Amino acid sequence: MNLLEKLDTAAAARKAQLPTGLSAFGIPIEEIYSPTEARIGERRILLLGTNNYLGLSFAPECREAAHEAIDTEGTGTTGSRMANGNYSGHRALEMEFAEFYQCRSCIVFTTGYQANLGTISGLIGAGDVALIDGDSHASIYDGCILSGADIIRFRHNDMVDLEKRLRRLGDRSKNTLIIAEGIYSMLGDQAPLAEIINLKKTYNSTLLLDEAHSLGVLGETGQGLAEKTKLSSEVDFITGTFSKSLCGIGGYCVSNHPQLDQLRYVSHPYIFTASPSPATIAATRAALRLVRNGSKLREQLWRNAQQLYSHLKMVGYQVGPEPGPVVATILDNPQQALALWNGLLENNIYVNLILPPAAPEGKSLVRCSVNAAHTTEQIKHVCQTFSMLHASIIQ
């Protein structure tokens, strides 16, 4: 089979999963009206599949900051942080992130994907070990592959399994980077951080926590799971993204370890790419201030999440293990998931469809992401639609 025939085979498998109807992947959004509404085709659609957790995508403070940055600094930096792309805004944002997390330092990356790629591949290398949760995001897997370290998975959120794997490593556990996530994107559940920290201390390992989905969502000031559990000082490295609660694009790593700054000289995903645009940096700085002072937004977000999660559970849908902004409905097969996804879209609700092999355990997911800008009426409409579709889809 040649290179192009391999792609034909993959395309045939995809078509077999999604034989008819509107493609669920890469659906064209024609117009965006607000953090919760858009036009798809000719329909006005309720957006319930974005990562816009605090609903800040149209925040006037962020838009104004972005406009001003374009006017004063131009549209792009045209270079790497290591060369001509190291503007005062990048350095200011790093200082603000470090101060936000009360950490020694921060490195800003061009995307959240690159934050994991660059941090992981800078921290570990051949001969070291990456011990990662089985449900880790692709950026974590790819960062580990790029590093050349041995990659070992532990069963999702299973601390007995994590300890077993640490024990088997023997002396190598001190050269091991354990990687977990604040909130997991598939099922919306949180890592058992206190237990992970106990194990990393027992085995002299290092811990990286990815707060991509938990930034803005958990903790008094929105730092994430480490703040919520009051364990921030015990986590060695925290990574995250601008592209969810902060409504931009970019990523970061914060740490109290002075060695973090050395990553700037060894991390290819940091060095060999253009730095974030001035508008992105300016909007993100404004968004970070809103996140930090966003306790009312977090309260609304959690009310919405609880309302949807409780309703789906009551109706009889199988949902993720705990309530949160990511509310996953777990279906037995792709046909059920596609029928539910289509049914929701016909009722003007957009959610995410996740099919094997992307979904855990061979299941399929219809994943909702609620945000603080959703009104109680909007969530009620979603609940009613899920109720209406239940009998015809779940036999």
Q: Which residues bind another protein (CB under 8 A)?
A: 129, 134, 145, 148-153, 155, 164-165, 168-170, 356-357, 362
Nearer to another protein, 76 or 148 (CB): 148
**CB of residue 124 vs another protein: minimum separation in angstroms?**
12
Nearer to another protein, 148 or 192 (CB): 148
Nearer to another protein, 153 or 390 (CB): 153
Nearer to another protein, 134 or 321 (CB): 134
Q: Which residues contact 268 (CB under 8 A, 6 or more apart)?
A: 118, 121, 146
**CB of residue 247 vs another protein: minimum separation in angstroms?**
32
**CB of residue 152 vs another protein: minimum separation in angstroms?**
5
Nearer to another protein, 149 or 177 (CB): 149
Per-residue three-class SS string for the chain: CCHHHHHHHHHHHHHHHCCCCCCCCCCCCCEECCCCEEEECCEEEEECECCCCCCCCCCHHHHHHHHHHHHHHCCCCCCCCCCCCCCHHHHHHHHHHHHHCCCCEEEEECCHHHHHHHHHHHHCCCCCEEEEECCCCHHHHHHHHHHCCEEEEECCCCHHHHHHHHHHHHHHHHHEEEEEECECCCCCCECCHHHHHHHHHHCCCEEEEECCCCCCCCCCCCCCHHHHCCCHHHCCEEEEECCCCCCCCCEEEEECCHHHHHHHHHCHHHHCCCCCCHHHHHHHHHHHHHHHCCHHHHHHHHHHHHHHHHHHHHHCCCECCCCCCEEEEEECCHHHHHHHHHHHHHCCEECEEECCCCCHHHCEEEEEECCCCCCHHHHHHHHHHHHHHHHHHCC
Nearer to another protein, 76 or 356 (CB): 356
**CB of residue 165 vs another protein: minimum separation in angstroms?**
6
**CB of residue 393 vs another protein: minimum separation in angstroms?**
24
**CB of residue 144 vs another protein: minimum separation in angstroms?**
8
**CB of residue 151 vs another protein: minimum separation in angstroms?**
4
Work out the angle at residue 11's Cα, subtended by the Cα atoms of residues 10 and 15, and round it to the nearest 5 degrees: 120
Q: Which tokens sit at 82?
A: 């290591």
Nearer to another protein, 154 or 242 (CB): 154
- For residue 112, report the phi and psi dihedrals to the nearest 5 degrees: -65, -40
Nearer to another protein, 67 or 168 (CB): 168
Cα gap 150→37, rounded to integer Å: 44
Nearer to another protein, 155 or 292 (CB): 155
Nearer to another protein, 155 or 289 (CB): 155
Neighbours of 217 (CB within 10 A): 31
**CB of residue 2 vs another protein: minimum separation in angstroms?**
16
- For residue 167, report the phi and psi dihedrals to the nearest 5 degrees: -60, -45
**CB of residue 219 vs another protein: minimum separation in angstroms?**
32
Q: Which tokens sit at 241?
A: 């993204």
**CB of residue 123 vs another protein: minimum separation in angstroms?**
16
